[in-house]
Chain A
């Protein structure tokens, strides 16, 4: 990558402005309601976190570059320029103070997709050289090593060996013609090996062929978070190439929010062509298996529990019913948080915030919202379906001395799976 500069940043932002963005800026009436939906505003009370304010540099560039009136204003010296100071001032708003959760976009009365614009403006900040160290590091590791946490294939293989010893089940690597290509997030490899074991057991029970790709086991995409489309494209291409090479029918996105956004929605646009395979979130696949009777469960968890909707999976991914269908099958005391589903509050660590150490304190302040939600319910267990949410929630709970275990929904389902050791069909 060439050296970043303010000029490149401005050009990158210009390149992101399309008709939808222009319509959003033309329609904004400065009503401020987006702030009421943003946990960074509600938890800090600082109006600078008002979502529409986070894209003010983009609005200035749009007005100057793409409107006649704005050009006239600029010629007369009546408009504010976007310069190095602007980038410096807005950097923390754009990266630290936004998890791209998308709640603001759902409440805007004129229909502005504000979080979509924040995702876009990050392209300019990264190109200008105003991106957080944590995200630069994660992106560099993803490009050079293959994973934002620096996880390499041997780590996955070691986990597989362990799994095989424990369960006697096979974890196919690079199996051509398999129906499903299973992706993992680094966090699942490093922190939550339960996930892969659950997959192996469920796939075995469902009688489905599946594989992991040695060249593309990692689903996460730091390029999406930092806002560098070239990196995002490279990382998505690894998955697409592997899926094409192996000839799989469906790629399964793991329990990770932004990975789903990256591979399900952004991927085809990044590589510039539709995929030759389907992409589904693991919860969609599990719900399908249950509905088709491919897997059965027995027994119920009696502890009072609730489900935290990962923003990219529920609000932005449309996977809302499936986790509820699954939980109602295996939990007898499942209760919902206020605003559950499409309007659920973010954990505070999405959109690259958890990879950005500079934002740690702000992230914990934002967590107060989730803390209040959990306290209101008084649950014994918290279930979720995103490893990043899970780590953020664990950290927040620990910081607040709250003793609530967190489990991934896939591993929980596997716990109640009926395993009859039938041979694969």
Chain B
């Protein structure tokens, strides 16, 4: 299989298979959570559960001062990593074209030079995250293989994307094929790792926020 054939497979069947596994896998994981159910709270409410749920969905986007003061670098790096990833994924012209082919609508992107720089920053941020993971005694202690797998499959699309755009390492066609394959790897692996947090974070925040809202306590 030469580079052109590999690219054709990655664009065709490869992508379809990966996307199917991603969607089915994520749905399964989320249904597994919901299927466990949640008993109604019989205590007399002091406030509104739904209001608390929405509030916590939003409030946890910002860190509390009490932990930010202790770990500012880790927290800032978390923002850089997530925001960088979103910018590269959703605001790069060719990516938008791909989304448009699925969704039927597009949106304005950023100049590719900016995306290139953001991609590089995001890669550095992921490397920093690994350095934290290996050097901070708490994170090292609680890390599992899953954490390193999730890290690697997140890094690969960023790295191959960066190399493709900058015409590095291999031919453009080969790099683009590898980039697509790395995205497919991410899609296939995500539902079976902590990357499920891309959806389940909303459920977790909602559940805690709902209870807190009902009780009229901070969340």
Binding site for B on A (CB under 8 A): 17-24, 26-33, 35-37, 41, 45, 47-48, 50, 52-53, 66-69, 103, 105-113, 116, 264-269, 272-275, 278-279, 315-318, 320, 339, 342-343
For residue B173, CB closer than 8 A to chain A, the reply is no
Contacts of B211 in A (CB 8 A): 20, 113, 116
Given A36-B71, A107-B63, A343-B66, residue A19 in contact with residue B142 (CB < 8 A): no
Determine the residue in chain B with the shortest Cβ distance to A35.
B138
In the bound complex, CA of A17 to CA of B37 (Å): 9
Q: 10 pairs across A/B with beta carbons < 8 Å? A: A18-B39, A19-B37, A22-B33, A36-B71, A37-B66, A41-B138, A69-B29, A113-B207, A268-B43, A279-B44
Contacts of B142 in A (CB 8 A): 30, 32, 47, 50, 52-53
Given A23-B200, A110-B197, A274-B44, residue A18 in contact with residue B139 (CB < 8 A): no
In the bound complex, CA of A45 to CA of B137 (Å): 9
Report yes or no: A26 in contact with B197, Cβ–Cβ below 8 A: yes
Min Cβ gap A390→B in Å is: 22
Which of B41, B67, B74 touches A107 (beta carbons < 8 Å)?
B67
The 7 closest A-B pairs by CB, nearest first: A111-B205, A47-B141, A20-B207, A26-B200, A23-B203, A342-B218, A268-B42
Which residues 195-213 in B have Cβ within 8 Å of A in the complex?
196-197, 200-201, 203-209, 211
In the bound complex, CA of A41 to CA of B138 (Å): 9
Determine the residue in chain A with the shortest Cβ distance to B192.
A69
Min Cβ gap A368→B in Å is: 16
Given A47-B137, A343-B66, residue A30 in contact with residue B207 (CB < 8 A): no
In the bound complex, CA of A110 to CA of B66 (Å): 16
Min Cβ gap B112→A in Å is: 30
In the bound complex, CA of A68 to CA of B142 (Å): 23
Q: Interface size (B, Cβ < 8 Å)?
A: 56
Determine the residue in chain B with the shortest Cβ distance to A33.
B67
Q: How many A-B residue pairs have CB under 8 A?
A: 170
Report yes or no: B204 in contact with A27, Cβ–Cβ below 8 A: yes
Given A29-B194, A106-B64, A113-B211, residue A23 in contact with residue B41 (CB < 8 A): no
Which of B34, B42, B205 touches A273 (beta carbons < 8 Å)?
B42
Contacts of B39 in A (CB 8 A): 18, 269
Report yes or no: A32 in contact with B204, Cβ–Cβ below 8 A: no
Q: Which of B35, B38, B64 has the most CB of A within 10 A?
A: B64
Q: Which of A28, A29, A266 has the most CB of B within 10 A?
A: A29
For residue B56, CB closer than 8 A to chain A, the reply is yes
Contacts of B204 in A (CB 8 A): 20, 23-24, 26-27, 108, 110-112
In the bound complex, CA of A53 to CA of B201 (Å): 19
Which of B36, B41, B74 touches A22 (beta carbons < 8 Å)?
B36
Report yes or no: A18 in contact with B36, Cβ–Cβ below 8 A: yes
Determine the residue in chain A with the shortest Cβ distance to B219.
A106
For residue B16, CB closer than 8 A to chain A, the reply is no
Q: From DSSP, what is the main secondary structure of chain A's interface residues?
A: helix
Min Cβ gap B41→A in Å is: 6
In the bound complex, CA of A52 to CA of B138 (Å): 11
Report yes or no: A111 in contact with B138, Cβ–Cβ below 8 A: no
Report yes or no: B43 in contact with A267, Cβ–Cβ below 8 A: yes
Min Cβ gap B137→A in Å is: 5
Determine the residue in chain B with the shortest Cβ distance to A284.
B46
Min Cβ gap B34→A in Å is: 6
Q: Which of B206, B208, B219 has the most CB of A within 10 A?
A: B208
Min Cβ gap B1→A in Å is: 30
For residue B136, CB closer than 8 A to chain A, the reply is yes
Contacts of B194 in A (CB 8 A): 28-30
Contacts of A106 in B (CB 8 A): 64, 218-219
Contacts of A342 in B (CB 8 A): 217-218
For residue B143, CB closer than 8 A to chain A, the reply is yes
For residue B11, CB closer than 8 A to chain A, the reply is no
Which of A27, A107, A266 touches B64 (beta carbons < 8 Å)?
A107
Given A18-B38, A111-B209, residue A32 in contact with residue B138 (CB < 8 A): yes
Contacts of A53 in B (CB 8 A): 141-142
In the bound complex, CA of A69 to CA of B208 (Å): 25
Report yes or no: A30 in contact with B43, Cβ–Cβ below 8 A: no
Given A27-B204, A32-B136, residue A48 in contact with residue B141 (CB < 8 A): yes
Contacts of A112 in B (CB 8 A): 204, 208
Contacts of B196 in A (CB 8 A): 26-27
In the bound complex, CA of A106 to CA of B78 (Å): 18
Report yes or no: B217 in contact with A318, Cβ–Cβ below 8 A: yes
Contacts of A17 in B (CB 8 A): 36
For residue B166, CB closer than 8 A to chain A, the reply is no
In the bound complex, CA of A22 to CA of B34 (Å): 8
In the bound complex, CA of A208 to CA of B60 (Å): 43
Report yes or no: A33 in contact with B71, Cβ–Cβ below 8 A: yes
Determine the residue in chain B with the shortest Cβ distance to A345.
B66
Determine the residue in chain B with the shortest Cβ distance to A111.
B205
Min Cβ gap A330→B in Å is: 25
Report yes or no: B66 in contact with A318, Cβ–Cβ below 8 A: no
Determine the residue in chain B with the shortest Cβ distance to A317.
B217
Report yes or no: B138 in contact with A47, Cβ–Cβ below 8 A: yes
Min Cβ gap A238→B in Å is: 18
Contacts of B141 in A (CB 8 A): 47-48, 50, 53
Contacts of B64 in A (CB 8 A): 106-107, 343
Min Cβ gap A90→B in Å is: 14
Contacts of B217 in A (CB 8 A): 315-318, 342
Which of B29, B60, B136 touches A108 (beta carbons < 8 Å)?
B60
For residue B13, CB closer than 8 A to chain A, the reply is no
Contacts of A19 in B (CB 8 A): 33-38, 203, 207
Report yes or no: B41 in contact with A269, Cβ–Cβ below 8 A: yes
Min Cβ gap B23→A in Å is: 15
Instruction: List 9 additional contacts besides A30-B144, A50-B141; criterion CB under 8 Å.
Output: A20-B204, A53-B142, A103-B66, A108-B60, A109-B201, A113-B211, A274-B44, A278-B44, A316-B215
